[in-house]
Amino acid sequence: MRAVFLDRDGVLTIPEFRDGRSFAPRRLADFRLYDDAAVSARRMKDAGFGLVVVTNQPDVGHGLLALDVVEAMHRRLAAAIPVDAIESCYHRQDEGCDCRKPKSGMLRCAAARLGIDCRCSFMIGDRASDVEAGRNVGCRTIFIDRGYIDEQPGQADFIVKSLAEATSIILRCSRGTGAMQVADQGRAGV
């Protein structure tokens, strides 16, 4: 099975902003999808891709966000988007777990459970840690540049401005367009 791994906040859902940096929402009332999220997800699903959300949620580990609120957010997300799985890391940054991106534990776990071939899959994220996690398992990577302060695309294969653009790249690649040709165009800012 081929899949698209998607970061949650900044890719599917609108983050909160403080001092030019993005953060996951802490209240269910603030949890909103980007306008292009549901349509883009449906297009990828219709093209035969599994959809797996992989999200770091350290606010739970820090005691700033209750687990039941995150679970309610994920139920809302799953009701709007045809995801196959939602993988979450609730550890604090200092815990050294194997699941927190840029480590690839969440991707590896979902791949093993769902039978995903990561070499035929994509990782979409808005942070260098998302790109690194995807590269660690052999995925092609797409960085959504939301203009955050101090956030660089790392070694992303493609750089885009929206999930809709990322979806178009994935669909072009899945139709047999030469991957290297599309990758070169992606680097140029297509």
Where do we find the tokens 């770091």?
56
- Domain extent, residue 112, equals 3-187
Closest CA to 139 of 106, 162, 164, 161: 106
Residue partners of 61: CB distance under 8 A and separation at least 6: 90, 91, 92, 95
pLDDT string in tens for the chain (190-residue length): 999 999 999 999 999 988 878 899 999 999 999 999 999 999 999 999 999 999 999 999 999 999 999 999 999 999 999 999 999 999 998 999 999 999 999 999 999 999 999 999 999 999 999 999 999 999 999 999 998 877 788 899 999 999 999 999 999 998 864 443 334 344 433 3
Q: Domain tally for the chain? A: 1
Taking each helix axis as running N to C, give the angle between helix 163-174 and helix 37-46, from 0 to 180 degrees, rounded to the nearest 10.
Answer: 10
Which residues are registered as beta bridge partners of 80? none
Q: Say what the pTM is.
A: 0.90
| Dihedral pair phi/psi, residue 52, rounded to 5° | -130, 120
Residue 79's alpha-carbon distances to 74, 76, 82, 84, 152, in angstroms, are: 8, 5, 7, 11, 32
CATH number, position 143 = 3.40.50.1000
